[in-house]
Structure 1
Amino acid sequence: MAGLAALTLAYMLSQFYRAFLAVLAPVLAIDLGAAKTDLSMASGAWFAAFALSQFLVGIWLDRHGPKRTAGLLLGICGGGGAFLFAFATQPWMIVAAMALIGIGCAPVLMASMFIFAHTWSPARLAVLTSWLIGLGSLGNVIGASPLAAAAEAFGWRPVIAGLGVVTLLIAGAILFFVRDPEQAKGGAVSSGFSGYVELMRLKALWPVLPLVAMNYVPSGGIRGLWAGPYLADVYGADALAIGQATLFMALAMSVGSFVYGPLDTFFRTRKWVAFAGNALLCAALVLLALDPAPGIGISTTLLVVIGLSGASFGLLMAHGRAFCPPHLTGRGITLLNFFSIGAVGLMQFASGAVVSTATVPGDPAAAYAALYWFYAAALSLSLVIYLWARDARPEHRG
C-alpha cells in the first residue's frame, strides 16, 4: 500500500505539471516574454515527450517492473526538468523543461496500472484506474488557485524549485516502497518493439483508439493551457480569478474520474457509458463555440462540464486493455496511453496555430470560438468511429 501511495503522489505531480502553465501563463509572458505560441509549444512538448516515451516505458515495465521504471525516470527527468523550469531565462528553456518533465511523468500512471493488471481481476481495472486518476487529479487542483496564491506570495521560481525537491523525494519513495508484482516476473518479454506491432494487429482495438486519443484532448488542452488565456482575453480575468475558475474545472475532472469508475459495472457496459459521457463533452464544446463569451459564470460552468464529462480516460483504458494479451500488459497500456497523451500533444501544437490564425483585432472571443469548434469537430469524428467498437463488459478477460 505504501508503494501505491507513493505512485498516487507521483501521479498528482504528473497532473500538476501538465496543467500549471494555464495559471503561470500571464507571469511567464511578462518575465520571459513568452508568447502564446511559446506556451502552446511548451505544453505540447510535455505531452509529446510523455507520449513518445510510452514505447520504451512499456518495454521497461514488462522487463524491469514498475519500481525502477517509474522511480528513476521521475527523479532524473522530472526533478531535473522542474529545476530547469525554475531557473529558465528564455522561453525555449521552458519548452525544454516541460519536455523533460513529460519524460519523467511518463511511467507513473502506467506503473500503477501495470500493478493493477497483474494483481487484481480485469473486472476491477476501470474502477481502480478511475479512482487513482480521481485522487491524482488533486494535483490539477493544486495547480489552480493554490498555485496562483503561492506564486503571488513567494514568486513562481521558488515555488517550482520547491516542487522539484518534492519530485525527488517522491521518486525516492517509489524506489523504496514499490514492489514489483510477482505475476509479472518471468513473463514473455523478448518481443521488444515487435510487441507493439502485435497489438496493432488486433482489429478490436482499431475503433477504440480514436476515442482513446480524443477523449482527454479538450479537457487536457483547456485546463492545461487555454483556460488562462481565454478568461484573461475575453473577460480580463487576473491570475487569482483564473486560478479560481481552473480550480472548479480541476475539481470537476477529479470528481468525473470517480463517477466514471463504477458506471461500467452498474450499467454492464463500457462502450455506451464512454459514448454518452463524451457526447455530453461534445455538446458543451459546441455551446462554447456558438457563444464563446456568454458571461464568466456560464463559461466557468461549461468548463466544469467539460472537466466532468472529459474524465473517461480510465474507462476507455479498461475497454482497450480488455483486448490485449496478458504477456503484453505493459506495452498494451502504454500503447493506449501513447494515443491518449500523444493526441493531446499534437492538438496543443495545432491549437496554438488555430488561435493565432483566428485572432481578430478587437474581438478576442473569435479565436476561442475557433478553438472550441476545432475540439468539437475532432471529438465528434472519434465518436462516430467508436460506434463500430466491440463492447468489453467488466467481466471480460481478454
Structure 2
Amino acid sequence: MRFGLVLLCLAYVLSQFYRAFLAVLTDVLGDDIGATPDMLATASGLWFLSFAVMQIPVGWALDTHGPRRTSAILLLLGGAGGAAVFALATTPLHINIAMFLIGIGCSPVLMASFFVFARMYPAKMFATLGAVMIGVGSLGNLAGSVPLTWAVDVFGWRETLWALVAVTVLIAVGLWLVLKDPPVVQGDEKGSVLDLFKIRALWFIFPLMLVYYAPAGAMRGLWIGPYVTDVFGGNAGIASLWMGVAMIVGTFTYGPLDRMFGTRKWVALFGNAMAFLFVLLLGLGVAKGYWSAVALFAAAGFFGVSFPLLMAHGRAFVPAHLAGRGVTLMNLFGIGGVGVWQVISGRMHATLTPSATNVADPYQMIFLFFAAMLAIGILIYAFSEDRID
C-alpha cells in the first residue's frame, strides 16, 4: 500500500502540474496557435469543470470498484490521452479539448488517496495525511513554473508535452500493477450521494469549499503570469514559482493545526479570512512593483490552501460506507468552484480589456471578484458546527 500511495502522490504531482502550467505557456501558445489569455482561462476552467463533474462517478467507482482500477484507467485514458491531444494542438479549440480530457484523467487521483486514508488510517490523522499528500504533490505546481519555462525554451512546448504523455502512461500502468484496494466495509448499509445532502452540518461547509480555492487556484493557474508581465514587465516563471512554494508551505502548515489547536473550524476560518485580505489588497492595486505583487500573490497562496483541513472537517460528518462519495462530493465543490470562477474571470478579462484605461484594471476587477466570493463563503462557514474526531 505504501508504494501504491507513492505512485498516487506522483500522479498528484502531474495533476498539480496540469492545472497550473498554462500560466507559463501563455506567450508561446499565443504566438504559435493564437490562444489569448481569455481563451486559456476558458481552457483552464474546462480542466476544473471536467474534473468536478467526474467527482460523482469517481466517488461511486471508489466505493464500488476501489481506487486501483478507478485511478489507473482514468489517468491512462484521460490524462495521457489529453496530453497527447495538447501536444498535437493547432488551434485554441484543441487546447480546450485537451484540458477537458486531462481534467477527467486527473479527477480520481487525490480522492483515491483520501479514500485510502479514510478507510485505513485513524480519523484524527486525516488532515495531516491529506496535507502531506497535497504538499508533496504540489511539487507539480513548482514544476509548472521555472522548470517548465526552461524545458520549453530548450526542447519546445510540443516535445515537452510528449515527454509528459510518456510519464503519465508509466504512472498509470504502475498504479494498475501496484496499488492495493482497502478492505470492503462490512455491513448492509446502503446509500448514495443524495444521503450526504441530508447531513445538515455539510451545508455550511459546501459554500466555502465552492470559493476557497478560486483565488489561489485561478491566480496561480493563469492570472499571475499575464498580470506580472503586462503590469510590471516581470518574469512570469519566477512569480509562479514563489507563489507555488508559498502554497506548498501553506499546505504543510495547515495539516497539523487542527490537532494543535483542537479545532478545525476556527483554523480554517482564520486562514481563509487572511487569504481574503491579501486577495483584496491585490484587487485594490496596493502592489506598486513586481516584487510587492509577488509577495501578495504568495501570501494569498499560503493562506488559500486550506483544502486538507476543510476536507477533514466535512469528512468528520460522513459515515464510513459513504467515504468515497463523501470526499469526492467535497472535492466537486472545491474544484468545480475554481472551474466556474475561472471561466467567468476569463469572460471578465475579455470584456473589460478593450475599454480599460489602465492595463492593471481588468486584473484588479478579477481579483476583487474573487475576494467578494471568498467573503460570502467565509460568512456562511462561520455558522458551521466544529468537529474533531
Same fold (TM over 0.5): yes
Matched, 1:102 2:103: yes
Distance in 2 of aligned mates of 1:144 and 1:66: 30
- The alpha carbon displacement at 1:367 in A equals 0.6
Confirm or deny that 1:355 pairs with 2:349.
yes
Query: What residue in structure 2 maps to residue 17 of structure 1?
Result: 18
| Alpha-carbon distance between aligned partners in 2 of 1:189 and 1:94, rounded to the nearest angstrom | 43
Structure 2 letter corresponding to 1:180: D
Do 2:185 and 2:320's aligned partners in 1 also have CA atoms closer than 8 Å?
Answer: no
State the partner residue of 1:128: 129
Tell me the equivalent position of 2:120: 119
Amino acid at match of 2:115: F
Alpha-carbon distance in 2 for matches of 1:52, 1:290: 34
Q: Judging changes above 3 Å, is the alpha-carbon distance between structure 1 residues 271 and 317 closer, same or farther for their aligned structure 2 residues? A: same
Distance 1:379 1:173 in 2: 39
Q: Aligned runs of 1:52-71 on 2, under 5 Å? A: 52-71=53-72
How many Å separate the matches in 1 of 2:279 and 2:215?
8
Could you tell me which amino acid in structure 2 is paired with residue 317 of structure 1?
M
Residue 172 of structure 2 corresponds to: 171
Q: Which residue of 1 aligns with 2:303?
A: 309
* Range that drifts further, 103-112 or 283-292: 283-292
Change (3 A) 1:243 1:75: same
Change (3 A) 1:187 1:134: farther
Gaps of 5+ in 2: none
1:341 equivalent in structure 2: 335
Which whole-Å deviations, capped at 9, do the CAs of 1:164-194 have from their partners, x for residues lacking one?
A: 1100000011111110012x35566864xxx
Query: Any conservation in 1 of the 2:82–2:98 contact (CA below 8 Å)?
Result: yes
Matched, 1:83 2:66: no
Equivalent in 360, 369, 389 of residue 374 of structure 1: 369
**Structure 1 residue 236: deviation in Å?**
2.2
Quote the residue 1:50 is aligned against. 51
- Measured against aligned partners, the alpha-carbon deviations of 1:247-281 in whole angstroms (never above 9, x if no partner) come to 01111111111000000000000000000000110
1:300 to 275, 294, 313: 294
Per-residue CA deviations over 1:57-104 (Å, capped at 9, x if unaligned) read 000000000000001100111000001001100100000000000000
Contact 2:75 2:168 survives alignment (8 Å):
yes
2:232 to 235, 253, 268: 235
Give the conservation status (yes or no) of the 8 Å contact 1:15–1:137.
Answer: yes
Aligned residues: 387
CA 1:232–1:253: 2 relative to 1, 3 Å: same
Partners of 1:373 and 1:189 in 2: CA distance? 46
Alpha carbons 1:63, 1:189 under 8 Å: kept? no
Q: Distance in 1 between matches of 2:349 and 2:383?
A: 33
- Once the two structures are superposed, the pairs formed by residues 30-49 of structure 1 within 5 Å of their partners are 30-49=31-50
Identical aligned pairs, as a percentage?
48
Contact 1:79 1:164 (8 Å CA) reproduced: yes
Asked if 1 retains the 8 angstrom alpha-carbon contact of 2:13 and 2:141, the reply is yes
Whole-angstrom CA distance in 1 between matches of 2:190 and 2:130: 27
- The answer to whether the 8 Å contact 1:40/1:351 transfers is yes
CA distance in 2, matches of 1:53, 1:186: 26
Offset at residue 37 of structure 1 (A): 2.3
1:213-224 paired onto structure 2 within 5 Å: 213-224=210-221
**1:316 counterpart letter in structure 2:** L
- Deviation at residue 293 of structure 1 after TM alignment: 4.5
Q: Does the alignment pair 1:196 with 2:190?
A: no
Query: How has the CA–CA distance of structure 1 residues 62 and 187 changed in structure 2, closer, same or farther, with 3 Å as cutoff?
Result: farther
Q: What is aligned with 2:285?
A: 291
| Distance in 2, Cα, partners of 1:20 & 1:150 | 12
